[in-house]
Amino acid sequence: MMHVNPSSFDCSEVKRFLYEYVERELDANILIALDTHVISCPDCQKLTDSYREAKETPREHLKQPVVIPRDVKFEIVESLSQTGQ
């Protein structure tokens, strides 16, 4: 484990390591340093919250069934039957 000075981390490190930070894929000491900064920085709190929300939004939509209108289904079937598929 590497030694990190938590006070040396600022907004630029949060932005640089945003993905790895949110996914918790960094060394524990780096995560602690970033956590320390994010807890005290409203801008970085907003950034990480927005990132998490944006990351989850597509998953939420994928869980919902897709409803295809009957006329669209009919057009697809017609098109496929005309092409011999």
Domain ranges in the chain?
A: 6-82
- Looking at residue 69, the DSSP 8-state letter turns out to be P
**Using H for helix, E for strand and C for coil, what is the string for 41-62?**
CHHHHHHHHHHHHHHHHHHHHH
Q: Mean pLDDT across the stretch 36-57?
A: 92
Q: What is the pLDDT of residue 16?
A: 93
| pTM greater than 0.85 (yes/no) | no
60-71: average pLDDT: 76
Q: What's the chain's Rg over C-alpha atoms? A: 23
What tens digit of pLDDT does each residue of 14-38 get? 999 999 999 999 999 899 999 999 9
Q: Which position has the higher pLDDT, 79 or 62?
A: 79
Over residues 72-82, the mean pLDDT reads 84
The DSSP secondary-structure symbol of 64 reads: S
pLDDT at 80 over 70: yes
Listed in sequence order, the DSSP H helices in 1-85 are 11-16, 18-22, 28-40, 42-63, 70-82
pLDDT value at residue 20? 94
